[in-house]
Structure 1
Amino acid sequence: MKPLDYKSFYDKVGKANGWDFSKLKLVSEGAKWDFNEEIMKRSKASDILLDIGTGGGENVLNLAPSLFLLVGIDISVGMMKTAQSNLLKSEVLNVRFSHMSSEHLLFPTDFFDLVSCRHAPFSSTEVDRVIKKGGYFLTQQVGEGDKLNVKKAFNRGNVVEEYGALKKRYVQELKEVGFSEVQSFEYNSTDYFQRPEDIIFLLKHTPTIPNFGQEKTDFEILDDFIKNNRTEKGIRTNSKRFLIVAKK
């Protein structure tokens, strides 16, 4: 997908559910970290955090009690409406949300102690500009090979030219803009979705299979996929993730 296609897609998702996957029934085996925990390991109660691609803001709101101020941005208008609604319901006072592109961060230089980005594009140059000396940037991204058996079943999805290419590019960019320490990690977990509706939710609310549900045969293919991948633990697939931790 091109960036503009992503924006259109995420706008629709924002209006539909705010990117809240908390109700999915899913068992994961082999995940090596929890992204929020990785953020908290490197934070202090006096810190200011910027979250890029914040979606409906659920993760930022969960982190709020442990930090001084949190700012979540997203390119999707729909996501921001959901985030503002979630903020109002939460009655949390130290969180702000703003509609903004990660390519042009409208914040002062050296303003944030921490910057996080989960499953969203970012500009290494802009992240480096807004983060303080000694601050941390953490990003978790979807790696090539994610949901591989699903993509093979539908014969569409992201084309993998080189496994690890995205992680390699991000690491190189962060080093080039001046981050002093850049570490990277990855895992490939086995996921078991407990119900067919969990798989349908995933496919309708992520770009794993482009335009899922619009092809006449999509649900026939999905039915076969479920039959072929059902186990005692659930409907099996995988999650490929990588984590980058960069210190300025």
Structure 2
Amino acid sequence: MKRDKEFEMYIKDAEKPFSGWDFSFISETGRVSSSMLSWSYGSMVIPLVQNASSMLDMGTGGGELLSKFQPFPEMICATEAYPPNVPIAKKRLEPLGVKVHQIGEDNLLPFSDRQFDLIVNKHEEYSPQEVRRVISDDGIFLTQQVGGTDCKELNEHFGVPLNDVFSHWNLSFAKHQLQSHGFDVLEAKQEFPVQRFYDVGALLYYLKAIPWQMPDFQRDNYIEELYSIHLMIQSKGYFDVRQHRFILKARAK
């Protein structure tokens, strides 16, 4: 099938580099948008940071978000498992007093027992048992998570099954897990906001950043599926998928 020049332009445009956890290339240009959640992770984090004496940010990415939550407690650490993000996070955060630790597994955190009275986590895997080990009694754990059905319409369109590893991951499961590992759950919400793509290049750029959505995804193997999305956007104006988000705030017993 002959494809138009605009499609080829968007496909090439998606080759722009992605680093840290920074989607500004497509978000700040209005090429992708998401409907609102009924909560704000940032607004929940800020007062907790101000009242903490020691804190850990799990999965800090390039430190983009954490750097905006200053002033920090006297003792603050961050973890990051994705090697390319680590030097980015260190460059951004260590001048601010944040000790950045590269880790391999979230169930093996390089910290002492009861070291933190606040642990925050946005979209990062965690072990409830390990979080309980490193958090102090009465410490607060706040996490916003991506649920197992996130953007399932992408998988459906490309004919790729959802990753079975995450299929169970939802608010009910995570809440029960925390309660079983010594936490009282204080707040719990789950929602499915719409994520809207206005061009196929933005969609492809996004897919490159989330390789777990469709493991081993190779652009050239799905050109026809991408082109059908391009034609849909030309006709309708956008391509929608549903995100899966939940948030939990818990106190260690």
- Give the unaligned 5+ runs of structure 1: 1-14
Query: SS state of the match for residue 146, structure 1?
Result: coil
Structure 2: which amino acid aligns with 1:99? Answer: Q
**Aligned match of 1:83:** 89
| Paired residues of 2:123 and 2:146 also in contact (CA < 8 A) | yes
Query: SS state of the match for residue 249, structure 2?
Result: strand
Distance 1:231 1:33 in 2: 33
Give the drift of 1:19: 2.4
TM-score with structure 1 setting the length: 0.81
Give the drift of 1:23: 2.9
Query: SS state of the match for residue 83, structure 1?
Result: helix
**Aligned match of 1:98:** 101
Question: Equivalent residues in 2 for 1:1-248 (5 A)?
Answer: 17-25=19-27, 26-87=32-93, 92-100=95-103, 101-159=105-163, 165-206=169-210, 207-213=212-218, 216-228=220-232, 234-248=238-252
Number of residue-to-residue matches in the alignment: 230
Distance 1:231 1:109 in 2: 57
Query: SS state of the match for residue 138, structure 2?
Result: strand
| Paired residues of 2:141 and 2:251 also in contact (CA < 8 A) | yes
CA RMSD between the two structures: 2.6
Give the drift of 1:243: 0.9
Q: Deviations over 1:1-20 (max 9, x none)?
A: xxxxxxxxxxxxxx951222
Give the drift of 1:160: 6.2
Distance 2:180 2:81 in 1: 25
- Percent identity between the two aligned chains: 24
Give the drift of 1:217: 3.4
- Give the unaligned 5+ runs of structure 2: 1-16
Structure 1: which amino acid aligns with 2:231? Answer: K
Structure possessing the higher radius of gyration over alpha carbons:
2
Distance 1:218 1:22 in 2: 25
Structure 2: which amino acid aligns with 1:56? Answer: G
Q: Deviations over 1:221-246 (max 9, x none)?
A: 11212333567764322211111111
Distance 1:147 1:179 in 2: 30
Distance 2:106 2:167 in 1: 25
Q: Deviations over 1:154-213 (max 9, x none)?
A: 111424699765433322221112112353211111122233322111101102222222
The 10-residue stretch of structure 1 (147-156 or 35-44) with the greater mean CA deviation from structure 2: 35-44
Distance 1:245 1:32 in 2: 15
Distance 2:65 2:53 in 1: 16
Structure 2: which amino acid aligns with 1:47? Answer: S
Distance 1:233 1:65 in 2: 42
| Paired residues of 1:60 and 1:70 also in contact (CA < 8 A) | no
| Paired residues of 1:192 and 1:233 also in contact (CA < 8 A) | no
Q: Deviations over 1:82-128 (max 9, x none)?
A: 2123336xxx4222211123211121222212111222211111111
Distance 1:121 1:161 in 2: 12
The 10-residue stretch of structure 1 (194-203 or 156-165) with the greater mean CA deviation from structure 2: 156-165
Query: SS state of the match for residue 77, structure 1?
Result: coil
